[in-house]
Amino acid sequence: MIRRFYFLSRYTGQRISDVVRLNPNDEDDGGFSLPQKKTGVKPWCPIFPELEAEMATWERRPGPFLLQEDGKSKGKPLSTNQMWKAFDRERQKHPILAGAVPHGLRANAVIRLRAAGYSALQISDMVGMSVEMVEHYCRHADRKASGQAVLRETPERHDDTTVKHWKSGKQK
């Protein structure tokens, strides 16, 4: 279920409270359409090829994609709190995940979409986040991309000819 949670979160950019509710009935013409629990906004999240390939390995059945895996409630839907606890247990097993939070996958999804060239408005429609929040989440990544673009353009803007040196080593 952690793997499913990761893929659903990473490729839809939805909050944990919405990811635990996602189910096959929310699929709509190549994407997911589900009103968000917190805001009521109903984004349309495309099912990207990476998520589609992962979902193809899942058993098709009614109900949420994420279910409890053990105990007396095995097979029942996970609550937001239960998903947090499962995430915490997994995080404790892997020191590299120290400090990671499920909401980070939401930010990661937004940044990935921005890096792929989508506008803040398009991302807002896909994720259900305001345009201002999309820009806030992407600000660092946008700065880095802008700086890297400057580095790529620098040689083109300047005449980078080699300066001839005198035998003494002084420049002409």
**List of domains in the chain:** 2-103 (1.10.443.10)
Instruction: Read off the pLDDT of residues 133-146 as tens digits, 9 standing for 90 and up.
Output: 999 998 877 777 77
Helices 2-12 and 80-93 sit at what angle, rounded to 10 degrees?
110
Burial grade of 84 (CB within 10 A; 0-12, 13-18, 19 or more)? middle
Instruction: Read off the pLDDT of residues 64-103 as tens digits, 9 standing for 90 and up.
Output: 999 999 889 999 999 999 999 999 999 999 999 999 999 9
Q: What is the pTM of this model?
A: 0.80
